[in-house]
Structure 1
Amino acid sequence: MSAWPRYLYSGLLALLSPLAKKRLEREKLNEFSERQRAGHISPSKKEVIWAHCASVGEVLAAEPLLKQLQDRHPDKQLVVTTMTATGAAQVKQRLSEARHYLLPLDLPWNSDRFIHTLKPRLALIFETEIWPNLIHSCKKMQVPVMIANGRLSEKAFKSYRKIRPLVAAALSEVELIAAKSDADAQRFIQLGFPAERMQVTGSIKYDLQPPEDLQDQADALRNTWGPRPVWIAASTHEGEDGPLLDAHRKLLETWPEALLLLVPRHLQRFDAVAGQIKAEGFSFSRRSLEQPVHRQTQVYLCDTLGEMLLFYATADIAFVAGSLVPIGGHNLLEPAALKTPIITGPHLKNFADIAELLRQAGGLREIQEASELPDQLMQLFENPVQGQQLTQAAFEVVKANRGALAKQLQLAETFLKD
């Protein structure tokens, strides 16, 4: 396959690299971040399994698989790369024995330097990340690349199709894709991935394994708040916090003791959201400052990382954000697995297949705009049986689709045999 698309891509990226570096500055972790973006890392004394997870969602999805690989291969070093600082925080918290780096900017010399130093036995790329030079460096150095939990939304497919020669060349150098659905598999194949190397395994997100003591932690936290209705607005993006606060204000007219757990998606927005809550006149506490939730507290700003499952387990109702604005939604399976009733907005492209399964089962409520949310919340607070029906229907979907973890683990193991 012609290398010219990749040469053109590399030249254009080199020209735009000052802008790319400026965009990545907000994801700086420490004084070594810029060197890591250039592919400068420390060699490992052990043989490496390398996994790339773009951000928080991918880290959470990958965690069960990566932990099992660690358990099965204690002689190997797990290295995890992310694109974001929030993803890095999740790696350090959930995969404490793994070594973390920021992914290098996808220029040939950066990628070659990174792979040459790392010398991984296997490269696991989670979900959708297609970096042509990084994949080509793996191919040159005989490192097998497997795309795990392969996901390609209709939106991403349309974008990649515009540069199909470049994407097809990159995909031709991938050894295996474990796709989460037939639709995702077909999109990868239409972009040029060889059909004979495709495996449809389902999504490992259905195999979520909450910590054994999670509910005990949730009950302990909830007991400090007293008996009151609690709902969560999870993973909010810019443009959503205001309408959600308005919805909470309306809810307070009927349920004056209601508590909103507001969880912004990105740590860079924590202070801004705190300022917005204050400007709106709500009584609020910040978890990061260990401020207590009093009886008069109306909003609890959950401005910490790695506690989303705890917050879902603590709430009576979950609104999964990223869905009121055209982000594409966030993981609906976390509240489903924890038996928390789910409400979302209309923008669910990133989780269209999961949303459809939940919709068909009667395990999901959807609104078109935030003004509809207070009525939905009040219905569920006033009729807990409806909430129980929602949660049971959603949980049955989770149970019925488990098993992808074992399949993808088996596929990864084929590349690790001596």
Structure 2
Amino acid sequence: MLLLYNVGIQLYFLLIRLTSFFNKKAKLWIKGRKNSALIRYPESIWFHFASLGEFEQGRPVLEQMRSSNPDIKIVITFFSPSGYQVRKNTSLADAVYYLPLDTPQNARRFIETINPKLAIFTKYEYWYHFFNELYKRNIPLYVISGIFRPNQVFFKWYGKLHREMLGCVARFFVQDEQSIQLLSAIGINNVIVSGDTRFDRVWTNAQQPKTIAAIEEFKNGKNIFIAGSTWPADEKLISSLVKENRDWKFIFASHEISEEKIKSLISLLPPKSAIRHSQIASSAPHLSTYRVMIIDNVGMLSALYQYGKIAFIGGGFGAGIHNTLEAAAFGLPVIFGPNYSKFKEAHDLVELKAGFSITDEASLKVITNKLINDQQFYNEASKEIQNYVKEHTGATKTIIDYINHVQVVK
């Protein structure tokens, strides 16, 4: 199995290299790993995140570790360019790298160079050689905000190698009881239900949101429908709401902001109804006259939700929905597409009647009209969703208290 894993890693690398000739993200993935010069540290704390979403998820723990260990270097690695490119200069770390390809040589070199006293991986990403190298060196490895499902490879008859990876983890901090039961069934019992650190992150953000003067001017006392992390399939549906709800304003923060994607979105909207965020400086005196704003930069979305009344979370017609909790923390009922099976919080919100899954334009209009026209229904959904976030905070404290206790005891 290890031979197959190693061959698979090399084939994956070859595929990315071939793709890099015509794909920007693949090119960044290759270039970033090729030009990475590691800094040697006498001691560090290593955080790994798959991408930007996992960075934000694990950020509360990262911030606490940074604050309580000011003399220890913090090293961050990302697997994806979308995380590295946005956070490569974060003040929360002394060094930020792409995770090297998972080979025995790379794992040995990387760990010998940064010398981690402990490693923290957020939610998922299991790499055999990195895990094994940490285990052999008796360096504690923690997985935080983990969540496990029956269909994952760990629980299949052919998942022996992946089960070995789990055996390298010192402690799992998982989101739910089902994860404990699944891990227990394969002999993994070093598990604590801590909850999801994303709740801490979004709740803190909602208590002290960064104000955005331009959005306040654009809002001009109107209700705003915020479409966050949307894809073309989402935007096609939402554009029909723009045309029918003329008393509302709309903000689109697309998942991809290439010029081609932005132009495609604008083509769906009523003529001259939209302004890009990058155009605000030249149109500020007339900003309130626009009905639609298109966010053509990265990093604003979490603060935008404070100005909204209803949120649509994109991705549900593709691989899966994006972050519903950022909007939920501000009390916005959330709407999303049908593909949300991997997201516990989405199931919870649907059950609470504070999150709503739609399948087409008709069902989107039905729930949107209900939220707009039935004030009691809206108020109950808004109260439920905000309380849900508040009640699920606390994962960061559980994790930090445990790690600090173990490190002091050692």
Q: TM-score, normalised by structure 2?
A: 0.87
- Could you tell me which amino acid in structure 1 is paired with residue 135 of structure 2? K
The SS at the match of 2:139 is coil
User: 2:139 is matched with which residue?
Assistant: 143
- Could you tell me which amino acid in structure 1 is paired with residue 163 of structure 2? A
Separation in 2, partners of 1:326, 1:391: 26
Equivalent residue for 1:285, pick from 275, 286, 292: 275
User: 2:398 is matched with which residue?
Assistant: 407
What pairs with 1:376-415 in structure 2 (closer than 5 Å)?
Answer: 376-415=367-406
Assess, with a 3 A threshold, how the Cα gap between structure 1 residues 30 and 401 changes in structure 2: closer, same or farther: closer
Separation in 1, partners of 2:255, 2:230: 5
Separation in 1, partners of 2:71, 2:91: 16
Name the % identity. 22
The offset of 1:162, in angstroms, is 6.5
Is 1:234 aligned to 2:228, yes or no?
A: yes
Is 1:302 aligned to 2:295, yes or no?
A: yes
The SS at the match of 2:45 is strand
Is 1:327 aligned to 2:315, yes or no?
A: no
Is 1:74 aligned to 2:70, yes or no?
A: yes
The SS at the match of 1:349 is coil
Separation in 1, partners of 2:114, 2:26: 22
- Could you tell me which amino acid in structure 1 is paired with residue 77 of structure 2? T
RMSD: 2.8
Assess, with a 3 A threshold, how the Cα gap between structure 1 residues 166 and 226 changes in structure 2: closer, same or farther: same
Separation in 2, partners of 1:159, 1:370: 38
**Does structure 2 conserve the Cα–Cα contact (< 8 Å) formed by 1:232 and 1:317?**
yes
Is 1:167 aligned to 2:162, yes or no?
A: yes
Separation in 2, partners of 1:30, 1:15: 15
- Could you tell me which amino acid in structure 1 is paired with residue 63 of structure 2? K
Assess, with a 3 A threshold, how the Cα gap between structure 1 residues 415 and 302 changes in structure 2: closer, same or farther: farther
Separation in 2, partners of 1:411, 1:65: 12
**Does structure 2 conserve the Cα–Cα contact (< 8 Å) formed by 1:204 and 1:403?**
yes
The offset of 1:409, in angstroms, is 1.2
Q: Which moved more, 1:8-17 or 1:92-101?
A: 92-101
Separation in 2, partners of 1:356, 1:88: 30
- Structure 2, unaligned stretches of length 5 or more? none
User: 2:121 is matched with which residue?
Assistant: 125
User: 2:262 is matched with which residue?
Assistant: 274
The offset of 1:211, in angstroms, is 4.1
Q: TM-score, normalised by structure 1?
A: 0.86
The offset of 1:141, in angstroms, is 3.0
User: 1:33 is matched with which residue?
Assistant: 32
- Could you tell me which amino acid in structure 2 is paired with residue 279 of structure 1? S
1:85-125 CA distances to partner (integer Å, 9 max, x unpaired)?
Answer: 33124535765444211111222222222222111111101
Is 1:342 aligned to 2:370, yes or no?
A: no
Assess, with a 3 A threshold, how the Cα gap between structure 1 residues 391 and 137 changes in structure 2: closer, same or farther: same
Separation in 2, partners of 1:81, 1:290: 35
**Does structure 2 conserve the Cα–Cα contact (< 8 Å) formed by 1:10 and 1:108?**
no
Assess, with a 3 A threshold, how the Cα gap between structure 1 residues 338 and 108 changes in structure 2: closer, same or farther: same
The SS at the match of 1:240 is helix
Separation in 2, partners of 1:398, 1:135: 32
The offset of 1:232, in angstroms, is 1.1
**Does structure 1 conserve the Cα–Cα contact (< 8 Å) formed by 2:74 and 2:92?**
no
1:244-284 CA distances to partner (integer Å, 9 max, x unpaired)?
Answer: 32x334xx33x324322112224xx4323212023335432
The offset of 1:217, in angstroms, is 0.4
Separation in 1, partners of 2:108, 2:72: 22
What pairs with 1:174-189 in structure 2 (closer than 5 Å)?
Answer: 174-189=169-184
Equivalent residue for 1:60, pick from 56, 61, 65: 56
The offset of 1:46, in angstroms, is 5.3
**Does structure 1 conserve the Cα–Cα contact (< 8 Å) formed by 2:140 and 2:170?**
yes
Separation in 2, partners of 1:211, 1:362: 24
**Does structure 2 conserve the Cα–Cα contact (< 8 Å) formed by 1:328 and 1:347?**
yes
Separation in 2, partners of 1:215, 1:31: 36
Separation in 2, partners of 1:270, 1:182: 41
Assess, with a 3 A threshold, how the Cα gap between structure 1 residues 88 and 360 changes in structure 2: closer, same or farther: same
Is 1:316 aligned to 2:306, yes or no?
A: no
Separation in 1, partners of 2:134, 2:278: 40
Structure 1 moving runs of 4+ over 6 Å: none
Count of residues in correspondence between the two structures: 400
- Structure 1, unaligned stretches of length 5 or more? none
Separation in 1, partners of 2:48, 2:307: 31
The offset of 1:21, in angstroms, is 3.4
**Does structure 2 conserve the Cα–Cα contact (< 8 Å) formed by 1:63 and 1:95?**
no
**Does structure 2 conserve the Cα–Cα contact (< 8 Å) formed by 1:125 and 1:148?**
yes
